[in-house]
Amino acid sequence: MAKILALAPEKCSSCRTCELACSFQHDQEFRPTASRVAVFAWELVGVSVPMMCLQCDSAACVKVCPVGAITKSDKGAMVVNENRCIKCKMCLIACPFGNTTYDGISEKIIKCDLCQGDPACVKFCPNEAITYKEATAATMKKKKAYAAKFKELVQEVGE
């Protein structure tokens, strides 16, 4: 059974350890702008949410890539083939969640690749706000409930 990243925003303290762990895992440096996860904090309501690629089943980034550089790995992660990528950034524009970014320093498209099945953000999150779980019916139900809460929060903040 596939595994998914599950978020528990109520446990996130906005420490951003996940961002540091991610950038170090991929680039051997602590540089949050190179991280595949970004923590968004709404201080007015006291909520922080780590955001990363949602590994969509029907991913817009895959559909718009003109050279087929983004594919789904056997771990269920959307992976960018850097040798094939022409850096047109169409995937950035297509992602409805803004979870694909471009790192100008390394000149790479960056998105969560689940660290080949052992996500660094999960290993180093001190509060277990990010977990890597089997995609059971119960896990998916909980994930959808969080998504609904997140949607409400975004609507409240956006008003």
What residues does each domain of the chain span?
Answer: 3-54+98-157
Phi, psi of 101 (to 5 degrees): -130, 170
CB distance 2 to 76 below 8 Å:
yes
Q: Which residues contact 83 (CB under 8 A, 6 or more apart)?
A: none
Environment class of residue 141 by beta-carbon count within 10 Å: exposed (0-12), middle (13-18) or buried (19+)?
exposed
Residue 105's pLDDT is 94
The pLDDT confidence band at residue 158, using thresholds 50, 70 and 90, is: low
CA pair distance 63, 51, nearest whole angstrom: 21
Q: What is the mean pLDDT of residues 101-124?
A: 95
Q: What is the mean pLDDT of residues 139-153?
A: 75
pLDDT in tens, 71-91: 999 888 999 999 999 999 999
CATH domain 3-54+98-157 topology: Alpha-Beta Plaits (3.30.70)
Q: What is the mean pLDDT of residues 23-45?
A: 93
Residue 90's closest CA among 72, 108, 63, 113?
63
Q: Which residues of 86-109 are buried (b: 16+ CB within 10 A; e: fewer)?
A: eeeebbbeebeeebbbebeeeebb
pLDDT in tens, 1-16: 688 898 888 899 999 9
